[in-house]
Structure formats: structure tokens, C-alpha cells
Amino acid sequence: MASAPLLDPTGTIWDVVIVGSGPAGAATAITLAKYGQRVLLVEKRASPSFKLGESLPPTSMGLVRHFLGDIESPEQQLPGLFRTAGNISLWGTEPTEIADFFFASAGHGLCVERLAFDEALRTKAVAAGATLLKDVCFQSCTRIEGGNFNWQLTLTSRNVTRQDRARYLVDCSGRQAVVARILGVPTLSHGDRLFAYAQWFSCSGGDDDRYTRIEAAPYGWWYSNRLPGSEDNETRRLVVLHTDKDLPAARLAASRQGFDQLLDGSTHIAPLLKAGGYHPCGIIRGAPANSQRLGNFCGDAWMAVGDAAQAYDPLSSQGIDKALRTASHAGHMIHYALTDSPQGAAGLDGRNSYIHRYDQQQRQLWQTYVSQHDFYYGIQSRWFDQPFWRRRRQLANEAGR
């Protein structure tokens, strides 16, 4: 794909600089570039090598087509995806619940290989007119008082440093929220310490199971999905345990032996792996999965989008959908704000009607998410007295006061 050349120490002037080129960053760049805004998309990695596979519900299909077109067409040449049939969950009650996508408008969901999916979005951003810099770190930003530009930005790559100027700055750096952190914006937690421990499995045979599986356990909950694509003609499956990082189960899950010990106690997932002849491959990887949001979603000539603004518990299944949906809204609002305020920082803070609209949407999304989060954790009552579930019941009670 086309991208910008090596860093030019003299820097450049941009309408919008976006830090982070995941789904939220790339989708924001696509939206703004299509409006003719001069957009710089900054990615700190030269070539990302690790992403969990992710499932998209039928309601996300229209959104994906908006940004990528028909990703299943041969012309797209997008590897690593397959249609999913629905969700199978063992959660609130003992009987298994099946949500079949056949009756949804799209008729199916999608499981995507994230590296290929993210790269496809970046390619679309460049095709729309955005400039992409890879292997470049955002180091700092300084407000410029007066003039037509609001930010002096420092970007580095290896031993090269460059200074760029921008009218508007967007933080799409994920949970780290590097721009917001530099600006001194606090991160607020919903109160949980959820952590995800992921293990890949492979088998030499086929696996025609196309359901996303979720299973509650005394110490947390399990997720599993067959992954698109294959290596060496082997089928791959992802299994993830979600538990609080300070619980004994977390210490067990960090090792292969402990992970297997916990997995053996699962009702559906362990038998599924055994029946398919799966064996673990690669190392166990861990990542934060707790609920968090920024104290402020935007400010003077800056905005946070995607997980940088608010990151959700994976139980919500809103990762990519939220990133694309809020990025589209952010891109439109930033464009309208820049068009109405052609000079300097005036009118680019939260008092701007478009920026205020984005801020209000983010606040409403968070309130809706917290309510749904507390509800779905609350309906699981089989391990009422276990710390993992007791903590979430307490959070819900405190939120309801």
C-alpha cells in the first residue's frame, strides 16, 4: 500500500493529525480525507504482528461496507474472514442459549483477522487522500497561540525528529490514550480490574463450527471462536479467559499449565477443543479488558475517538463497531467545525455546536454501556458468592444509588 516517505525533519502543515491507525483512526481519516481535509495518520508500529481475532454482529455489516465495500468480494483480496452463524452462551442459567443470525437482516455476522482488516482500512484511508506514517511515535504537542494553526507536534522515528503543525488533533491511540495523557486528561475506571488471557489452539482437521461461544465460570468467563485463515493447513481457534487480574485464577491463567487446568473445568469449550483434536500453540498473551473512559472526551482543538475515548468490556461485543461508528461521527463533526471556524482555535472547543454534539454522544454512549454492562453481569447468579461476580453486583448497586 502507498504510504508517506521517511520523516522529513522540516515537518508539514495539516488540517488534522490523527494519532493511532487502528479501526477508529483509519475510519476517522477516511471520513475527513473524503471531505478534502489534509490528514496525517500516525502509526507507531512499522508492522503490527499481534491482534486478537474479532467477531462482528449482523448489525455491523452495513457499517463495514460503508468503509470497505463488499469485503467478501474477490476484488477486495481481503484474507482472513468468514461468516459467523450466531452466538452460543452458557451464562445466566444452566441451559445453553443460542442466538441464530439467520433471522437477522444480514443473515450472518463476520469473524475477521484483525491485522488484515486494519490494514485494509489504512489502505482505504490512503486511497481517500490521507497520509500515513508508520513506525513513528507521537512524542509531544504544544499549543500555538494565535495564527491559523493550533498545535506544534513532535514526531520521532528511530533517530529522526520532525515538527508538524495542525489545526486539529485526534487521539485514536487506544486504551493508552497517549494524547489525552500528555494533555493531562484523567482516565476514569468503571471500577473493575478485568484482564484477558488469550491462548491459540490449532488442529490438523477441519472445524465447521461457526458460532461464537461464551461461557460463565466461577472466576470469570470464557470466549472462543474459530479464527479465519490458516497456517500450514491447520485450523485455528482462539480461547480467552476474562477474570480480574488480582484473583487467583489470573495467576493460574498466565501459565500454560494453569490455563489448561482452568479450561478443563469449562462445560462446553474444553469438550469442543477435545472433539476437534485441538492442541495449544504459541504463548499465552494478556491484555487489559476493563471498562474505562476519559474524564473529558474533547477540548480546545482536540478530540478522543474509539478506545482512547472509552474502552468497553469485551462482553459488550462492540469493539470494532464502536470504533467505526464513533469515528464516522467524529470525522463529520470535526469537518463541520473546521469549515465553520477557518481561523485558529476560535470555535474549536466544546462550545462549538458540532464538537458539543460529539461530546454529548460520547456521554450518552457511556451511560448506555454502563447500564447494559451491569445488567448482563447481574443476570448471572450461579456463583452469587464468588469474588468476581460479587464485585460486579456491588458496582451495579453503587451505580443505582
Closest CA to 399 of 311, 291, 256, 304: 291
Predicted confidence (pLDDT) per residue in 344-385, tens digit: 556 787 788 999 999 999 999 999 999 999 999 998 888 989
Higher pLDDT: 232 or 70? It is 70
Look up residue 231 and give its DSSP letter: B
Phi-psi sector, 381: left (phi>0), alpha (psi -120 to 50), beta:
alpha
- Report in angstroms the alpha-carbon separations of 25 from 51, 172, 177, 314: 16, 5, 12, 20
Closest CA to 320 of 152, 137, 81: 81
Q: Which helix (H) or strand (E) holds 54?
A: strand 54-56
Judge: domain 82-110+193-288, CATH 3.30.9.100: yes
C-alpha cell, 230: 490458516
Give ∠ CA 26-31-35 in degrees, rounded to 5.
Answer: 135
- Report in angstroms the alpha-carbon separations of 293 from 83, 194, 366, 380: 32, 15, 8, 25
Please tell me whether residue 196 adopts helix, strand or coil conformation: strand
How many CA atoms are closer than 13 Å to the CA of 386, on its beta-carbon side? Answer: 19
Any idea which of 34-48, 77-91, 123-137 has the lowest mean pLDDT?
Answer: 77-91
Q: What is the pLDDT of residue 55?
A: 82
> Is the Cα dihedral 177, 181, 185, 188 positive or negative?
positive
Predicted confidence (pLDDT) per residue in 27-42, tens digit: 999 999 999 999 999 9
C-beta separation of 64 from 324 below 8 A: yes
Phi-psi sector, 69: left (phi>0), alpha (psi -120 to 50), beta:
left
Predicted confidence (pLDDT) per residue in 143-199, tens digit: 988 777 899 999 999 888 999 999 999 999 999 999 999 999 999 998 899 999 999
pLDDT category of residue 397 using cuts at 50, 70 and 90: confident
The average confidence (pLDDT) of the chain is: 89
* CB contact burial 330-344 (16+ within 10 A = b; e otherwise): bbbbbbbbbeebeeb
Predicted confidence (pLDDT) per residue in 95-128, tens digit: 888 888 888 878 888 888 888 889 999 999 999 9
pTM value is 0.91
Highest mean pLDDT range out of 5-19, 77-91, 303-317, 387-401? 303-317
Is residue 1 over pLDDT 80? no
Distance CA 2, CA 321 (A): 26
C-beta separation of 182 from 253 below 8 A: no
Distance CA 311, CA 297 (A): 12
C-alpha cell, 2: 502507498
Residue ranges of the domains in the chain? 13-51+117-190+294-377, 82-110+193-288
C-alpha cell, 28: 476517522
Is residue 231 over pLDDT 70? no
Please tell me whether residue 4 adopts helix, strand or coil conformation: coil
Alpha-helical (H) ranges within 77-156 are 114-128
Query: What is the β-pairing status of strands 109-112 and 81-84?
Result: antiparallel
Closest CA to 317 of 53, 57, 113: 57
Contacts (Cβ under 8 Å, ≥6 apart) of 321: 56, 57, 59, 60, 63
Distance CA 58, CA 369 (A): 19
Higher pLDDT: 265 or 108? It is 265
pLDDT category of residue 77 using cuts at 50, 70 and 90: low
C-alpha cell, 213: 461461544
Highest mean pLDDT range out of 66-80, 323-337, 385-399? 323-337
Across-strand partners of 244?
194
If you count them, how many residues does the chain have? 401
Task: Give the CATH number of domain 13-51+117-190+294-377.
Answer: 3.50.50.60
